[in-house]
Every structure is written in structure tokens, then in C-alpha cells.
Amino acid sequence: MTETRIDDCLSNRNGVLFIEEMASPDLVERFGSPLFVFSEDQIRHNVRRFRDAFEKGWTAGPVKVMPAAKANWLFAIQRVLADEGCGADIYSAGELDVALRAGVDPRFISVNGVPKDKEHIRRTIEVGARLTIDSLQDVTFLEELAPTLSNTAYVRLRIRPAISEFVKKSDFAPDGMVPTDLVALVYKGGLSVDEVIEAGKRVMKLPNVEVVGFHAHHGRHHRSTLYWEAQMHAYARDLGRVCNELGGYRPQEISIGGGFAIPRDPHNAATDYTDPLLFGSLHLLSLGLKYLGARVRYRVIDKLLKLVEGHPNTIPAPSIEEYGAATTAALLEALPRHGVDPAGVMLQLEPGRAIHGNAGVHLTSVKATKRMTSPIRWNLVTIDTSEFWMTGGRFEHHLHEYCVANRLNAPRVMKADVVGRSCYGDRLLGAVRLPEVEVGDLFAFLDTGAYQEVSASNFNAMPRPAAVLVTGDRASVVRRAENLDDVFRRDELPEHLARSGSEKAAESSPAERTPASPNRA
Ligand SMILES: Cc1ncc(COP(=O)(O)O)c(C=O)c1O
């Protein structure tokens, strides 16, 4: 048997994709297609690398890895993270619930996000989780609750620093042309410096409330370590000002949020920029070609289409160790410079995609192939998944690394669009190189462990696929596939629509029901 490692958890064994010790075709045979697969080992490995890398650099105090639950809030996955001693970044009441049930220590749960209702804030405090203030409305609710509390509320203030050093274009901006510092400044999360100061002053006056530190999160605008250095400089600068305005306040905890890219970083220049540029020029050209008649126009277009080809990223993102070194060094240098003593401060980080991304593979079967030869040449491969089951990635214009999981060693001889099963265009991969594929072949999207399964919807009344966790040579369902009953479970009929048309007809008068007889006028 020949074996080539693709990643920590992925290997090519005789041309077949293995996830840990499980062959991907076996997984689909057992659990159905399409299928979300998560590698337990990869998640644990990623957590440990983050912990080690940041502990190595952050010499001032302890480090806590608090993965973003929004990226993957499956109960079993949260259990793995709790077992690794992780905390959690929580957005909603539901995420708080699953983290607590999974056994995450509430002292390391950060309840972030806007908006929070009063009940969510009350529960956060009651269970002993950290409340991250992200609006002045949060402060108002806290003012109302504070006098009635039977336990201390541990509160942090979320700040939105202006990363003025970093003006490269943000990968989040739809047209790819907006500078990162601007996109980050207008994002809804976090408070401006002035508002943080106001929030801090109000909260510090409250009974039963202790302000334990600060939080910031900008997300993955750019993969470079320069971006992280710029964030840390901006954060330290703003913290210096806030601490000063709050009377020389000293934080015990500083959270730097998430946004570290994964190695095969699916944010993709080829999809976002090259492809539209080529098609844009095609559009202009085709306007001119219109006057030459359809045959000539299609012949020219056919030639130009040969140039269009989609490629997932080939430039690896910095490693976890590089992120750890750059980020901690920048923060340790900048905090004292701005008057904030880092001694004893717990550094917290909230990676989402970087913990879960490369721990997930989405397996999906080829259902049809179409090969058009005229008036232009174009191939389509239809698979049984959909962009509606990988929505998180669609929002961020991902182009995932892919392979035909049962033909890894076959040469990529054809170019095709890989399209999903929904009635939308569902163009999951545009003009990519593939081996010759047949109906029944198994397609794999790599790096789909974050934001994908958890964002799947029921468009086209499609039941959502199952998710399995692979642990060595074992695989267990961690979220079962839906059936049609699940899809319609929340539907209700108003009374006046409750009876079907045929029932109504059955209740109508016999005369109306009897077909017209030839004897009747
Ligand atoms: C507060 C907070 N922390 C962490 C994350 C995780 O970000 P990422 O998955 O890019 O690491 C998010 C994502 O939106 C977030 O809002």
C-alpha cells in the first residue's frame, strides 16, 4: 500500500482519502451521502498547538484557549473541547447552554455578542460565566440587575480598536477593495473608545459587579502576521487610554478574540477577483462580438473560456506557532509602552476556524455529469450537496480545497463547474481541474469543519445531512441526518386552512358531489 500524508488527520492510501483511520467511501457507505465528517484528533491537535504556541510567547501570565462555539457547536465537539480544558466564546443563549452541558468551566466562558436580552445576561451571571459588555444597552440591563444579584457578575468591556497601521484590503469586503481598518471600524461588534470609557465608569459603580478585563475581536480580515501585530498595537494603545480614563485600572484578563487563518486558507483570490475580472472583460468583448453573429461570438468566447480556471489557495497561511509568536511579542511590547502592566494578566484567545476548519471534511457523491460541446464547451458535475449546507463558507466567498476521494491519484484532465443540488445555480467550484469523474464517485471538500454544518438550512425542503466524528478507526454519528418529518416539524396550519380541498369537497352537498346526469338540465 502506498500512503501519502495530506494533513495531520488526512492521508492518501492507494488513491483513497482517509480521515484518521477511516476510508472516506466506507464512511459514506455506512452513514450516507452527503456527510459532514470531523476528526477528533485534529481538533485536539489544533487546541494543543494554540495553547503551546501562545504559552511560549506570553510570558507575563496564563493563557486560555476559548474556541468560538459559533464555528462548531455540536454537542460532541464541545465535549472534546471541554475535555481539552478549553473555555468558550459564546454568542447566544443556545451556545451558552451547549457549552455548559458539555462541561466547559463557566469561569472561562465569555458571553459576547450584540444584542443580548436581559434574561441572557441574568443567566450568564447566574452560571458564573464572563459577561462581555458590547453595548450601552448591556450596561443598562446590568444596572437593573446588579442590586438583585446573589452572586458576583464578572464583566469585561469589548473594545473596537482602530487598526490604523493596517490598510491592506480586507478579505471580508465583497468587492475586495476596502481597507481593513475601515471594514473593522464599521463592524457591529465592540464599542468605540469613548463608549468603552462610559460603559466602564457606569459598570464600576455597580454593586455585585467586578470588571475583570477587556475583549476585542476583529476576525479574519487578512491572514498575515502583520495584521495581528497591527491589531495588538492598536489594542494596547486604546487599552492604555481606557485604563487611564478609568483611574489607572489594571485588567486581570485580556482577550484578543479569533480570526487566525487555517493553513489551506479557503479565502480565495482566484474566486473573488480573477474570475469576475475575466468574466467582466468577456462581457465587454461579447457586446462588441454581438455584431459578428452568434456563431463567431460563441467561437471566440469558447477560446476565451479556456483561460478561466478556479484554483483554491496555494499559499499557506502562517502557522499557529507563527501567529503565537507575532501576536504575543507585539502585545508584550506595546502594553507597557501604553502604560498597561501585563504582569499576571491572563491572555485569552478565541480561535474558531483555526480550531475546527481543517478538522472537517464534507463528503458528497457525484449524481450527474453534463458535457456541452456546442455552442461552447463546458462541463458540469452535479453533486448531492448544496451551498445551503455550506452557507458559512459562501458568505465568505470560500473556495475550498477539493478532491475526488476515490480517485486521488488520477490525473486532473478535465475542467468543470462543480454544482450543488439546490435549484439555485449552486456553483460550489467554478471551472476547476478534475479527474474524469463518473456518477457514484465521491467528492470531498476539505477544511469544512468551521461554520459550515452549523449554518446549513432546509432550502428546497431538503433534509440536512448527518455529521460523524472520527476517532482513530471508529466513527460515530454526532448529529443524525434529518428526515422529512424534521423538515416540516415547525409548520402549523391556521384553522381555516386545516382541512384539505378533498375533505371540504366531501363535506359539500350530495347534489354538488353527484356528477351531472344526462337527465338533468
Ligand atoms: C467574538 C468572536 N470571537 C471569536 C470568533 C471566531 O473567529 P474565527 O472563526 O475567525 O477565528 C468570532 C467570529 O465571529 C467572534 O465573533
Pocket test of ligand 1: the residue of 111, 217, 218 to mutate, having most ligand atoms within 8 Å of its CB, is: 217
The single-letter DSSP state of residue 129 is P
The single-letter DSSP state of residue 92 is S
Q: Do domains 3-38+359-485 and 40-262+318-353 have the same CATH topology?
A: no
> Looking at beta carbons, which pairs linking 499-508 to residues 24 or more positions away fall under 8 Å?
none
Euclidean distance between CA atoms 13 and 96, whole angstroms: 40
The predicted structure's pLDDT at residue 280:
65
Q: In angstroms, what is the span from residue 217 Cα to ligand 1's centroid?
A: 7
Q: In angstroms, what is the span from residue 413 Cα to ligand 1's centroid?
A: 39
The predicted structure's pLDDT at residue 520:
40
Answer yes or no: are the C-beta atoms of 231 and 166 closer than 8 Å: yes
Euclidean distance between CA atoms 166 and 162, whole angstroms: 9
Q: Which atom of ligand 1 lies closest to the CA of 353?
A: 9
The predicted structure's pLDDT at residue 375:
94
Does the CB atom of residue 33 touch ligand 1 within 6 A? Answer: no
Q: In angstroms, what is the span from residue 260 Cα to ligand 1's centroid?
A: 9
Does the CB atom of residue 89 touch ligand 1 within 6 A? Answer: yes
Pocket test of ligand 1: the residue of 54, 70, 215 to mutate, having most ligand atoms within 8 Å of its CB, is: 70
Report residues of the chain scoring pLDDT below 50.
272-273, 514-521
Euclidean distance between CA atoms 92 and 482, whole angstroms: 23
Euclidean distance between CA atoms 445 and 358, whole angstroms: 10
What pTM was estimated for this model as a whole? 0.94
One-letter-per-residue 3-state SS of 221-268: CCCCHHHHHHHHHHHHHHHHHHHHHCCCCCCCEEECCCCCCCCCCCEC
Residue whose grid cell is 471600524 = 185
Domain 3-38+359-485 belongs in CATH node 2.40.37.10 = yes
The predicted structure's pLDDT at residue 178:
87
End-to-end CA distance of the chain: 85
Name which CATH class applies to 40-262+318-353: alpha beta
Does the CB atom of residue 158 touch ligand 1 within 6 A? Answer: no
Does the CB atom of residue 258 touch ligand 1 within 6 A? Answer: yes
The predicted structure's pLDDT at residue 517:
42
Give domain limits for the chain: 3-38+359-485, 40-262+318-353, 269-310
Q: In degrees, to the nearest 5, what angle opens at C-alpha 260 toward C-alphas 445 and 108?
A: 110
